[in-house]
Structure 1
Amino acid sequence: MATVTRSGMVGVVAGVVRWVGLVFALILAVHVLLTVGNANPANGITTFFATTADWLVLAFKNLFTPENATLRVLVNYGLAAIFWLIATAVLSRLVRRLG
């Protein structure tokens, strides 16, 4: 059985944090793409991404309220995607430093 070093485990945790942020941002970006592309809202794929993105958008959902619904999704969900990328990058670095 291989022994896992502390630095190796810290690297794995930091990597997982980064991947989670990347997946969250990707889900938000796909939702934006489907919205901008006028995807069928009754389609299962569209519903999955819309439901998941609504959970991931956090407080950004109504940050900006332009009258155009597509622009509203583009700006607010796009900002949420950027937030997840930055937040998980910072958290990953913090994990590496504390580890």
Structure 2
Amino acid sequence: MPYVATRHNSVIAHIISIVFGLIALIILLHLAFVLLEANAGNPLVAFIADLANWFSWLFRDMFTIDDPKVRAVVNYGLAALVYLAIGGILTGVGHRWRTA
């Protein structure tokens, strides 16, 4: 079956890449706030923390490490990597999507 490149394949792949990249960025921003000990009472910090917690719900307590900063790096870093990997895989599939 020959590959037929369409404009829609590229647009869908870019949208998927952007969405998963933004999710990873939110998680990494929260991780930076944790490492830099940002004020948890700040509305922006709290909003990013809520979003990051929602997106990384599977990974938040995956590893129980005594140091809270190391625990955050491992758990939230793993969540960000998984989102980037899933986004990369889906983007690759979107670029290779074949149409008749």
TM-score where L is the length of structure 2: 0.88
> In the alignment, which residue of structure 1 is the partner of 2:36?
37
In structure 1, how many angstroms separate the alpha carbons of the residues matched to 2:88 and 2:41? 35
> In the alignment, which residue of structure 1 is the partner of 2:72?
73
What's the C-alpha RMSD, in Å, of the aligned pairs?
A: 1.2
Q: CA deviation at 1:98?
A: 2.1
- Which stretches in structure 2 are left out of the alignment for 5+ residues? none
Q: Deviations over 1:20-62 (max 9, x none)?
A: 1111111011000000101000101110110000011131111
> In the alignment, which residue of structure 2 is the partner of 1:51?
50
> Which of the pair is proportionally richer in helix?
1
> In the alignment, which residue of structure 2 is the partner of 1:22?
21
Q: Deviations over 1:63-85 (max 9, x none)?
A: 11101122111110011111111
In structure 2, how many angstroms separate the alpha carbons of the residues matched to 1:16 and 1:24? 12
TM-score where L is the length of structure 1: 0.89
Give the % identical residues.
30
- Which stretches in structure 1 are left out of the alignment for 5+ residues? 1-5
Which AA in structure 1 matches 2:35?
V
